[in-house]
Structures are given as structure tokens and as C-alpha cells.
Structure 1
Amino acid sequence: MWMRLCLILVMLNGFFFWNMPDTWAEDKLPSESTKEQEWLQLALQAQKQIAQPKSLVEAKSTVTKLAMSFSQTNFQEKKYSLGVISVLSNTILEMDEQLNQALIDPEGLAERARKLVYSFDVLVHKNQPLWRNAEPELQRYVSGIKQSNQEQRQEDLQEAVRQFQKSFDLVRPAILISKSPAILQKVDSMLAFLSKNKNFSENETIIQLLEQLIPKIFHGSDQDVMKLLKPTVQMPMPMVIIWLLSTILIVLSYFLWKKYEGTKAGTT
């Protein structure tokens, strides 16, 4: 609980930079910053430790050190946007929560560690970030989506989209840090369309666009990506409404759960 409170304070510390862009400029975030190097080394250390079941206690300690270092940072000097601070805080919290599960899920823990490393690595290695290693995996899932759609197997298509979303979630923080948040919104809209739409011919256009989009996200500029997305087929209005309502419900449910958890903790 104390770790969550510390990271919430970190987010409040970044509140004054709400109007700053979600991507950081090269002159504002030096690639060889000592603090960022420290965070990355701790994330890599935790990833290495969880590979050994007997080192989980050490991994918890390492993640705690990372949270402490992050929470004690003067973000007024770093000039991060609130979005960047939030996404980094969340990756630490997710890792901590995964380590504190009653029954450890090795696969889930490895994914959270990978996500943590990607998120902090992009702060240090702007030009050659580790998150680019996820590109072949995402391309394979796109191929699965394409095949399921061609064979008109709706259930398999939905499962392929779900697998893509799960893999894409690992690089989501890194994309938000290094690129425009609008890119994530576009990808989410495309995936929402594919998971609900039953018109396979309409899906083909979105899938082809997704195939072209993945390399652009990993290796192109924001302008390259947005230029490619301009001709995107618009989702039918009912689908847009359903997607928006679902997003709102998820957000509200999350905050209600957080409020309940805080109330429960206060009474114990």
C-alpha cells in the first residue's frame, strides 16, 4: 500500500506539467541520464531475478528500490509529462502486484518484467530501444488475424485479436513514452473494430492497414504513422458508441474499485 501512495505522490508532482506533450524532446531528456540508467539497471536486475524461483524475494527488494528511486525524483527538473510519469508508475505497480500474488504466475510475471524493462529502456536508448524486439511477435499475431479472417472463423479471429492485444500491451508504455498517444488510440480503435465486426470483407481493409502500421510504429516517425492512418476506414457509428461506452465503464469500474480498496484499508 505504501508503494502505491508513493507513486501517487509522484503523479501529483507531475501534475504541473499536464499541458506538456506526452513525448519528450531530446534536449529535455538526455539519453545518458544517471537516474534513468539506475532505473533501467534495477528493472533488468528484477527481470533476471524472477527467472530463478529462489530469487523472488530479491526481486521484490529490487522493485522496491526502483519504486523508491522513482518516487524520490525531482520531476520538475526532469520535465516529464504527467502521462509519462503515470505510465512509468503503473508499470512499477503492476510488477509489484504480480510479485505479491498468493500464487505466482511465472508467465504473467515474466511479461510484467519485460514490460517494465521496455518502459525504462526507452528513456535511456532512444534510438535503439529494446521494445523493438517485440515487432516479430506482433507481426506473427497479425498474420494469425489475417488467416482467421480469410477463413471466416469469427471465434478464431477474436482469439487472434486478443493475443495481439496481450502482446501489444507489453510495448504500450514504451510507445506512449516515445511516440504520440494518438497512435495508441488508433490501434485500439482498429482492434475494437476487428473484435466486434462480422463483415470479413470490411475487416480485410483494417488488417492490411495493421500489417503496414506495425513496422511504421517500430521504425517510423509519428508523421509516418499518422500519414498512413489518414485513409483509415471509419468504424460504423454504433461500433464507435459501443467502444466508447466500454472504455468509460472500464475506467469507472477501476476508480470505484480503488475507492473501495482504500475504504477497506482504512477500516482495518
Structure 2
Amino acid sequence: MMAILLGTQLLIGCSQRESSSSKSNETLPSPEQVQRVELLNQTADDMYNKVMQGDITGGRMVLQQLGDQVTQIQYYGIASVEGMNALAETVTQAKRAFNAAKYSPDEGQVYVAKIRLATDALTHTNQPMWLQYYKLLIEDVNGIERSAVDKQKQGLTQFINQLAQHYAVIHPSLLISRNPGDVEQADSLMVFLSNQLRSDQDPYSPVTSVITPLRQIIDKLFLKKDAAAYLPIVDQQNPIYWTLVLGSFILAALAFAGWRLSRKDNGLVPVRKKDEA
């Protein structure tokens, strides 16, 4: 079984906030908003470093500060409603993990990494750190394709789970940085793949059929090239049921992936700015 290329450290570089290209229908953030978001990013960096160094008490205290800061920021012109909600929900989940009767260091590290990447996405709109997950996601997709072609169920399960785990780490950042509709398309494909593992029918043909749109939507999210038109994947046997459960299943799948991720090497990949590569 191929090992997941993960690490326990994000290498956070100090860089100036990059100016985002303004859109005609968007309100530009005020200087006060920008200052508050930059402070939020610094707080997330401090929290991340404390937790990774084993200072759980200090990390918990900074997490509380970060939670207070999140509620004091007006996000118009900075993030969509979906992005704002994704950040707030991730912070809430992190608080639950850190205040649990039995704290899990691995789970805590995963949550602070998700928050760190999300706040970086708010302050570095052109080159956020989560972009460096592209290679990892594509390697997962290549593994899925090989396993489906060779009809290897064990490999298929492994690579689909790995893809879900890696995708879960950057999901809040995606909702901050990208069009929510594009993220929903990626979500639906992730759900479709996970659903095939639970199906009693042959999963190989359905999985193979979505490899191309999966690569296309990943390329679109990572701005690698112009992606072809996306065609939604629908369960032909139960289309109405699929529509009804899709939203809740996406949340459940991402939550499960986050839990699985916390059990395997913390689910983190070293992230470096281009000038550190």
C-alpha cells in the first residue's frame, strides 16, 4: 500500500498580503477589514505553532482568541457567505476537539492545519498555501484510475479514501478562495466516489467514467487550465433520493474523511511558498 505523503509541519513563510484583483460587482474591503483579517491570520499561525510544538494549553487559549476574532470581522469583499460559514464551522469543530474530555493530538493538529490554511486563503488570494495540494490530489486520482482499470478493490478503496482525506483538509480554503458552485461540483464527485465503495454493484466502470470530470474540476479549482464543461454525476437508479441526501451526505463524508485523516500521520502535507521550494 502506498504511503500517504504527509508530514507534521506546515512551513509558514512570512509574506506580504497579496492584492486581489477587484471584480466589478464586489465591494472592496476597508483598511480596517484588511487589518482584522491579517491579525486573524497571525493568530492562526501562533495557534498552529503552539499546537505543533506540543503546547496544547497555549494552543487552546489562542484558539479561543481566534474564535472571538472570527466573529468581529465583516467579510463582504473578502469572502462569500459559504467561505465565511466554512471558516466559522471549522473553528467551532476545532473548539469541540480541544475541549473534549479526551483530547486527540492527531485530531487537534488536523483542525489547526485546516484553520491555518483557511486564514492564509483570506490573506493571500493569489497564491494561498492550499494550492500546493494539487500534486497530492492528482496522484490520488491517478491511483484511483489505475485501480479501477485493474479492478483492484483494495487499491480503489485506499486511493478514494486518501483523496477524500486530502480534500477535506483544504475544503474550507476552497470555499473561501473559489466559486462555491465549483466546490459543490467537486463535492458531488467526492460523494459519488465514496458511494461506489458502498455499492453492491461493480464499482469499476462508474468510477472510470468520472475520472475525466474529476480531473477537470480539480484543474479548475487550482487554476491549472481551462476545464471543459462539467456534467453532474447522477445516480440513475435513484435520482430523487440522490438529490435529497446529497447535501447531508457531503457533510457526513467530509466529517468522516477528517476523522480518518486524523488517524493517519495527522493528514498534513508540508506546504512551502514557491520561493522556498
Fold shared by both chains (TM-score > 0.5): yes
Gaps of 5+ in 2: 1-22, 197-201, 253-277
Matches within 5 A, 1:128-167: 128-167=127-166
Q: Is contact 2:182–2:217 with CA below 8 Å preserved after alignment?
A: no
Q: Is contact 2:141–2:163 with CA below 8 Å preserved after alignment?
A: yes
Q: Which residue of 1 aligns with 2:121?
A: 122
Q: CA deviation at 1:236?
A: 3.7
CA distance in 1 between partners of 2:240 and 2:106 (Å): 34
Please give the per-residue CA displacement for 1:163-201, whole angstroms capped at 9, x wherever unaligned.
211210111111111211111221222223333343523
Worse-superposed segment, 115-124 or 203-212: 203-212
CA distance in 2 between partners of 1:151 and 1:239 (Å): 28
Worse-superposed segment, 117-126 or 184-193: 184-193
Q: Is contact 1:24–1:177 with CA below 8 Å preserved after alignment?
A: no
Q: Which residue of 1 aligns with 2:255?
A: none
CA distance in 2 between partners of 1:247 and 1:205 (Å): 19
Q: In terms of Rg, which structure is larger? A: 1
Matches within 5 A, 1:65-84: 65-73=65-73, 75=74, 81-84=80-83
CA distance in 2 between partners of 1:248 and 1:65 (Å): 31
Q: CA deviation at 1:106?
A: 2.6
CA distance in 2 between partners of 1:58 and 1:102 (Å): 17
Residues 24 and 176 from structure 1, CA distance in 2 versus in 1: closer, same or farther, beyond 3 angstroms?
A: farther
Secondary structure of the residue aligned to 2:96 is helix
Worse-superposed segment, 150-159 or 90-99: 150-159
More helix by share: 1
**Alpha-carbon RMSD:** 3.1
TM-score by length of 2: 0.69
Residues 24 and 193 from structure 1, CA distance in 2 versus in 1: closer, same or farther, beyond 3 angstroms?
A: farther
Q: Is contact 2:41–2:120 with CA below 8 Å preserved after alignment?
A: yes
CA distance in 1 between partners of 2:77 and 2:219 (Å): 30
Matches within 5 A, 1:17-166: 28-29=28-29, 33-53=34-54, 55-73=55-73, 75=74, 81-166=80-165
Percent same amino acid at aligned positions? 22
Secondary structure of the residue aligned to 1:72 is coil
Residues 245 and 28 from structure 1, CA distance in 2 versus in 1: closer, same or farther, beyond 3 angstroms?
A: same
Which one scores higher on RCO, CA 8 angstroms, separation ≥ 6?
Answer: 2
Please give the per-residue CA displacement for 1:4-49, whole angstroms capped at 9, x wherever unaligned.
xxxxxxxxxxxxxxxxxxx997752379911111011111111111
CA distance in 1 between partners of 2:193 and 2:245 (Å): 15
Residues 27 and 162 from structure 1, CA distance in 2 versus in 1: closer, same or farther, beyond 3 angstroms?
A: same
Residues 188 and 41 from structure 1, CA distance in 2 versus in 1: closer, same or farther, beyond 3 angstroms?
A: same
Residues 134 and 25 from structure 1, CA distance in 2 versus in 1: closer, same or farther, beyond 3 angstroms?
A: farther
Residues 213 and 47 from structure 1, CA distance in 2 versus in 1: closer, same or farther, beyond 3 angstroms?
A: same
Gaps of 5+ in 1: 1-22, 254-268
Please give the per-residue CA displacement for 1:219-246, whole angstroms capped at 9, x wherever unaligned.
258xx44xx243x374343254443343
TM-score by length of 1: 0.71
Worse-superposed segment, 117-126 or 106-115: 106-115
The one-letter code sitting in structure 2 at the alignment partner of 1:66 is L
Matched, 1:200 2:204: yes
Q: Is contact 1:161–1:194 with CA below 8 Å preserved after alignment?
A: yes
Q: Is contact 1:118–1:131 with CA below 8 Å preserved after alignment?
A: yes
Q: Is contact 1:40–1:117 with CA below 8 Å preserved after alignment?
A: yes
Q: Is contact 1:44–1:117 with CA below 8 Å preserved after alignment?
A: yes
Residues 141 and 25 from structure 1, CA distance in 2 versus in 1: closer, same or farther, beyond 3 angstroms?
A: farther
Residues 66 and 234 from structure 1, CA distance in 2 versus in 1: closer, same or farther, beyond 3 angstroms?
A: closer
CA distance in 1 between partners of 2:115 and 2:77 (Å): 19
Residues 48 and 184 from structure 1, CA distance in 2 versus in 1: closer, same or farther, beyond 3 angstroms?
A: same
Q: Which residue of 2 aligns with 1:18?
A: none
Secondary structure of the residue aligned to 1:237 is coil
Worse-superposed segment, 34-43 or 78-87: 78-87
The one-letter code sitting in structure 1 at the alignment partner of 2:242 is W
